[in-house]
Amino acid sequence: MDYDREEMRLRRVYEKTMAAKKKLEERLARQKEEARSAKSRLQATTKSEQWHRMALAWLDRDAGYTGEMASARVWLKEQTMHKYIELIHAYVDQTKPQRIIDIEVAAVRANLVDWTAKGNALLLRRAYDGYVMECQSFRAWQQGHPDNVAWRKKPATRNQLLLIDRQASALRVPFPGKMNRGEAHDWIERHGGNLRLKAAETQSLMATPERRPEDDRRQS
């Protein structure tokens, strides 16, 4: 009899535990579903930067653009409206209806070498301007925080080491070896900063759109 009572007690404990487990599993399943639903709603309203880039890129790709045409396209898009129309007008086919993007692709393809060079110069100039602003901002921060030197003791960044490697090769000087972040910063400064971007200073500003007085009047 005592054995039967103990067995019944244990069975009730087991059944109660299993029932509680089932409720927890059902609750967890509901929470997972709510989380998936919330994530889906969030993605619908806040798309990632990569999503925006891909969503825009396929339109140009379907029109005939390739990656090799990217710099040329950048230069063309940088022109004023008057200059843009002037550049693509020769590629209008009067015998059939054309989309603007089809005319644009034809123009870029026909002028690929020239416009790519101009586009590369433009992108280099933009990168240089960003580099100058970053350097100025950092120097201003250093002047405002002369006692904050903890950053200097951190390991050199991957970008610093890559830049130093390129600088050393270009200048034909030995690679300085292991350095912390501050030492790497000082080495780059002593050796002229980012030489590739500084070259933009002396390059022809072929990438700068030609602005005419009539262009400004058209835009006003």
* pLDDT tens by residue, 118-137: 999 899 888 888 888 888 89
- 123 with 177, same domain: the answer is yes
Which residue, 100, 83, 113, 87, is CA-closest to 211? 83
- Give a yes or no: residue 206 inside a domain: no
Q: Which residues neighbour 104 within 8 Å (Cβ) at sequence distance 6 or greater?
A: 63, 73, 76, 88
Per-residue pLDDT at 132: 84
- 24 with 96, same domain: the answer is no
Separation of alpha carbons 175 and 160, rounded Å: 12
- 133 with 27, same domain: the answer is no
- Give a yes or no: residue 58 inside a domain: no
pLDDT above 90 coverage of the chain, percent: 32
- 31 with 106, same domain: the answer is no
Query: Would the pLDDT of 44 be above 90?
Result: no
- Give a yes or no: residue 28 inside a domain: yes
- 141 with 180, same domain: the answer is yes
- 112 with 178, same domain: the answer is yes
Per-residue pLDDT at 15: 87
- 22 with 110, same domain: the answer is no
- Give a yes or no: residue 130 inside a domain: yes
Between 80 and 16, the higher pLDDT residue:
80
Q: Kindly indicate the confidence band of residue 216, based on its pLDDT and cuts at 50, 70 and 90.
A: very low
- 23 with 103, same domain: the answer is no
- 89 with 167, same domain: the answer is yes
Let me know: does 121 contact 206? Beta carbons within 8 Å.
yes
Q: Provide the domain limits for residue 14.
A: 1-37
- 11 with 113, same domain: the answer is no
DSSP-assigned beta bridge partners for residue 155: 180
Q: Which residues neighbour 3 within 8 Å (Cβ) at sequence distance 6 or greater?
A: none
- Give a yes or no: residue 43 inside a domain: no
For 61, list phi and psi in degrees, rounded to 5: -65, -45
Convert the chain into a string of H (helix), E (strand) and C (coil): CHHHHHHHHHHHHHHHHHHHHHHHHHHHHHHHHHHHHHHHHHHHHCCCHHHHHHHHHHHHHHHCCCHHHHHHHHHHHCCCHHHHHHHHHHHCCCCCCCCHHHHHHHHHHHCHHHHHHHHHHHHHHHHHHHHHHHHHHHHHHHHHCCCCCHHHHCECCHHHHHHHHHHHHHHCCCCCCCCEHHHHHHHHHHCCCCHHHHHHHCCCCCCCCCCCHHHHHHHC
Handedness of CA 48, 50, 53, 54 (dihedral sign): negative
- Give a yes or no: residue 141 inside a domain: yes
Query: Would the pLDDT of 215 be above 50?
Result: no
pTM here is 0.60
Number of domains in the chain: 2
- 79 with 31, same domain: the answer is no
In terms of C-beta density within 10 A (0-12 exposed, 13-18 middle, 19 or more buried), how is residue 104 classed?
buried
Q: Kindly indicate the confidence band of residue 103, based on its pLDDT and cuts at 50, 70 and 90.
A: very high
- Give a yes or no: residue 21 inside a domain: yes
Separation of alpha carbons 206 and 122, rounded Å: 8
pLDDT in tens, 153-209: 999 999 889 889 988 888 889 998 889 999 999 999 888 888 777 766 665 444 444
- Summary mean pLDDT of the chain: 84
Let me know: does 200 contact 124? Beta carbons within 8 Å.
yes
Query: Would the pLDDT of 90 be above 80?
Result: yes
Q: Kindly indicate the confidence band of residue 217, based on its pLDDT and cuts at 50, 70 and 90.
A: very low
Per-residue pLDDT at 116: 95
- 109 with 182, same domain: the answer is yes
- Give a yes or no: residue 185 inside a domain: yes
